[in-house]
Amino acid sequence: MPSKFDPEEIRRKAEELESASLREVLSWAWEKFGMRAAIGTSFQGAGLVVMNEAFSHGLNFPVFTIDTGLLFPETHELKAAIEKRFAITIEPLIPEQTVEQQAADLGPELWKNKPDLCCSLRKVIPLQKKLSTLDVWITGVRRQQNDAREKTKIVELYHFDVLRDLYIVKLNPMAARTREQVQDSIKKHALTAFGYRSIGHTRSTANGESERAARWTGFDKSIRKRL
């Protein structure tokens, strides 16, 4: 299925917005796509900066997050605090099965025995369903986070569902920001003091990992690489 987005137009817009301010990038998305653009958050600092900038200037994008059913209590507390501060509701993307239902069908601790399958069921599929309803996915991705993200563009065309051949515009307004710049813009979240740079969930985040590792503990794979 051909993409409804023009790759050349996306490329030109990425070049145009490379030196634009955060507000300018977000304003472009709001003016062009409105509510068909949404912020996806995992409650990291960069994403919070994006939300603050957007809502402070009347750019009322919908916000969503992936709720695997295994999030830390601190993550739920932070979600509630953000909702209260910005007077918004953050939509949770919930897997079709609860953790208990999944264990009954596929066995306990699937994240240990079949981490790829568990990731797909609890993260990838819920995200794909949400992205299929949008034109733009706004992220807090930064080039400095890891080697795989060094070439991240401010605007890119993202093939989010290969099986169904579906694309979305992925907007990364924080791509050029450093971690230090993000820290200058926002207070650290509750897990930072404990050494967690990336909020994952109770079966994947490993204390002391690299900034965007969020690994299934005991496996050499990054479950967030595709997200």
What pLDDT, in 10s, does the model give residues 176-212?
A: 988 888 888 765 433 343 334 455 555 555 554 455 5
Rounded CA-CA distance 201/121 in Å is: 15
Quick check: 96 pLDDT over 50?
A: yes
Bridge partners for 161 per DSSP: 166
* pLDDT for res 10: 95
For residue 58, CA distances in Å to 52, 64, 87, 178, 186 come to 10, 18, 12, 26, 19
What digits encode the pLDDT tens for the residues 35-78?
999 999 988 888 888 999 999 999 999 999 999 988 888 888 88
Closest CA to 93 of 50, 123, 119, 135: 123
pLDDT average, residue stretch 78-86:
88
Nearest to 49 by CA among 159, 133, 174, 196: 174
Q: What is the per-residue pLDDT for 227?
A: 34
Reported as a single tens digit per residue, the pLDDT across 188-197 is: 433 343 334 4
Distance, C-alpha 225 to centroid of its chain = 11
pLDDT level of residue 144 (50, 70, 90 thresholds): confident
